[in-house]
Structure 1
């Protein structure tokens, strides 16, 4: 297992395919819905297995110099529950620190809230329903104590 910053077209094809397959396809969302308008200015993390197949993705963006925002975090279903989510989360948190962020925010799906809480995030507010059915919660973690 390794985590890279996608750089080639092949890397980004793998990255976006996993983002779509895990976060959009199960809710019959159209291809392209996995791509955000500000992806070009974000930091991307792609986790690959030994065969270089995509098994995890995460995106980090700094909307302000102090705030980092995590979006599109996903682990392939066959690899969930093996601690890989924690590894990719730690990776992007370090990237946020390198970019000078003081805290990280994210919108967690309800079933992911306990995962983020174990990683030191706290619930700030109950927010929106994605696709009319997936409850989300705004969460935050301070990077500077």
Structure 2
């Protein structure tokens, strides 16, 4: 499991800048210190670590004014390239820029990285690359759309919210809504105010419910996208609480955290799908939910209770 966060402590920043230098500048025989500039104290930084705390990727975004932000110093550990980590990092930097009010991203891409950025919606802002620090770089630009508009199937996302409200009333009381669905990432958000406890943090039961509803909702979207119909049953759910949720509750499922297929429904067979959901408070991973879901063909629905009974409110 990957952990993406903003490095803030002295130790975290030391690891962050050392990784940046070792991947980007050391191969060019540039000295330590060349990986930093005067904008770093005013920029937003992101780092991805593995489960053992080893850096896998880093990057920085600097908001230059109300409309534009610059991404620089993106680096991914060579042995982990091609696994979606670069995409995860880029999306996090874009979201940070979006949250700061930026409407477009400008960056300088190394020649070999141009296809990567093109696949993420960037286009060349100039015809020919120029050289900087001995490397050929091409300026690229991307217009940022509001994250709420990043819905692959907006009509189904709206229908999902209606299904939640009608069949699982707790979702509406918690203020849960679909925030983003790209095929690679599914994110819901909830109201902290509606789920706060006496310690000004989110109820543990609300965290569990948001995670479960998010996984159930993605099962529903995937099923509907492929033209299947069935009932989704929560077979098993486990959650690990890591820290209090004191900021806007975000529940995120990445494509790599889905294990299972819906193809069996074509033959009238039930299918099993496992999902991992991360509950994020600010930029910190506050909880991790692992759920097993069984999708039953339409004909088997009568054997199971109403879906709404799958969810219960738990209070601290």
Mapped to 1, the partners of 2:124 and 2:111 lie a distance apart of 11
Map 1:13-28 to 2 at 5 A.
13-28=14-29
Look up the match of 1:6.
Answer: 7
More off after superposition, 120-129 vs 98-107: 120-129
Structure 1 length-normalised TM:
0.96
Look up the match of 1:129.
Answer: 131
Q: Does 1:95 find its partner at 2:90?
A: no
Q: Does 1:70 find its partner at 2:71?
A: yes
What are the superposed Cα offsets for residues 91-134 of structure 1, whole Å, 9 maximum, x if unpaired? 111111100000000000000000000000001113421333x2
What are the superposed Cα offsets for residues 63-83 of structure 1, whole Å, 9 maximum, x if unpaired? 111001000000011111111
Look up the match of 1:112.
Answer: 113
Mapped to 2, the partners of 1:13 and 1:54 lie a distance apart of 11
| Larger RCO: 1 or 2 (CA < 8 Å, sep 6+) | 1
Q: Does 1:34 find its partner at 2:25?
A: no
Mapped to 1, the partners of 2:118 and 2:35 lie a distance apart of 25
Moved over 2 A (4+): none
SS at match of 1:114: helix
SS at match of 1:24: helix
SS at match of 2:109: strand
What are the superposed Cα offsets for residues 31-57 of structure 1, whole Å, 9 maximum, x if unpaired? 000011110000000111111011100
Structure 2 length-normalised TM:
0.45
Give the root-mean-square deviation of aligned CA atoms: 1.1
- Runs of 5+ in structure 1 lacking a partner? none
- Runs of 5+ in structure 2 lacking a partner? 147-316
Cα offset, 1:144, TM superposition: 3.4
SS at match of 1:11: helix
Cα offset, 1:135, TM superposition: 1.1
Mapped to 2, the partners of 1:103 and 1:22 lie a distance apart of 27
